[in-house]
Amino acid sequence: MGVVSQPNAELFKMFAPNPGRRPLLPRLTEQAQVALTCRMLFQEGWNEHIAGHITCRLPDGRILANPWELAWDEVCAGDILTLDEAGKVVKGDWNITPAIGLHMQLHQLRPEVNVVIHNHAHWSGIWANLHRVPPVYDQAGAYVDGPLPLFNEYEGTFEDADKTLAAAKALGDAKWALLANHGALVVGKDLRQAHLRVATLEWRSKRAYEVELLGGGVPMSDEQVAACALPDANGFPFLWEAMARREIRRDPAVLEG
């Protein structure tokens, strides 16, 4: 099972029980946390068939990743692969995507980035195809502030190391990016932070699409967005756990392995 009885490494301590109150979740293995994140983000709209990859760097430099062959809504703890720092599978029964190079390069370029998530997302993907950055129209779309760059030098899929390096460098120190005619990319220091960024990006993109269908609205200013933004160090308190519980209720097998 993807449950452990003792706290894990520093990266995963944010999922400890609610201090002084009822536990929000059982102690989960690192693999279970990555599998749950796959399931949670699938529900957000990061669900393009078997496309997309999540990498999560452990304190010892090894990297956990979802397998190439499985859709995000079927991944279980036992399916999560362990990679070395070069992206080679060192533990697991599946294969890793040929496009993993983008993740490896981002991890190398940005030591503070322990989680990299990419998919051909639904709502943010619409804006990426439009070559436009969605405005922020409400509080939930403002939970994460800062620039949302649009990388518009798409030259095909991400198996080529030169193309992925160009994309990784173009991201700079941004929290996220739209990849024109391709999809979306989010990075974070941990799973909680990255999850909040994905959820915020998709909500923001969906709301902006709906508002434009109705003829447009009044976007929030950068100052208003900054005032609503949640501290990235903490993410959205209890949100990751609530979404994890939803996935465990939906399919307890997610913890198996």
Tens digits of residue pLDDT in 27-60? 999 999 999 999 999 999 999 999 999 999 999 9
Which tokens hold the place of 191?
Answer: 């799973």
Q: Assess if CATH 3.40.225.10 describes domain 10-15+25-252.
A: yes
Which tokens hold the place of 235?
Answer: 């993410």
Q: What local confidence, expressed as pLDDT, does residue 167 receive?
A: 73
Q: Which of 38, 169, 147 is nearest to 102 (CA)?
A: 169
Residue 99 identity (one-letter amino acid): A
Confidence of residue 11 (pLDDT cuts 50, 70, 90): very low
CA 52 to chain centre: 10
The pTM score is 0.90
- Alpha-carbon distance of 159 to 63, in angstroms, equals 19
- Residues of the chain above pLDDT 70, percent: 87
Alpha helices in the chain (DSSP H): 30-44, 101-109, 123-130, 161-171, 191-213, 222-228, 239-250
Sequence-separated (6 or more) residues with CB below 8 Å from residue 213: none
Residue with the larger pLDDT of the pair 15 and 120: 120
Residue with the larger pLDDT of the pair 165 and 220: 220
Residue 242 has pLDDT above 90, yes or no: yes
